[in-house]
Amino acid sequence: MVTLQRAISRVKNGKNGLVNMFKDIIRSCLEVLISSRTYHSLVRKTRRDISEIITEGRAVHLFCVRAHTGISGNECANELARRAALTKKTIADYDCFPLSYAKKVIRSESLKEW
C-alpha cells in the first residue's frame, strides 16, 4: 500500500492528464481502497489524492500484473526494489503497522515462551 500511495502522490503532483499504473500487488490494494470499513491513514491519503486527481479532470488507470510471471518490466522493478532494500542505509520510509499485527506477534512470542 505504501508504494501505491507514493505513486499516486507523485501522479497528483505531476501534470500528466492520463497515467497508467501496473502493479503486482494492486488487487489487495484496490480491495482496501474500495472498502468502506478501512480507515488506515495510508488508505485515506490515497483516496484523497485520487479524488483530487479526478477533480482536476485527470485520470489514473490501475492495472493488476501477476507477480513473478516473467514480465520483463515487472521483473526489473522487483530486482531494483530488492537491491535498494539490501543496500539502502537509511531509516525506514514507513514503519507503522496495525495494532492487530502487534497483538499477533505478542501472542505468538508468549506462546513460544510458555
Q: What is the 3-state secondary structure (H, E, C) of 39-84?
A: CCHHHHHHHHHHHHHHHCCCEEEEEECCCCCCCHHHHHHHHHHHHH
pLDDT tier, 49 (very low <50, low <70, confident <90, very high otherwise):
very high
Q: Which architecture characterizes domain 2-113 according to CATH?
A: 2-Layer Sandwich (3.30)
- Domain map of the chain by residue range? 2-113
Question: Region 14-40: what's the mean pLDDT?
Answer: 77
How far is 52 from 11, CA to CA, in rounded Å? 10
HSE, CB side, 13 Å, CA atoms: give it for residue 4: 25
Between residues 29 and 74, which one has the greater pLDDT? 29
- No. of helices (H) and no. of strands (E), the chain: 5, 2
Please determine, for residue 40, whether its predicted confidence score (pLDDT) is greater than 80: yes
Least confident residue range of 3-7, 66-70, 78-82: 66-70
Give pLDDT, residue 93: 64
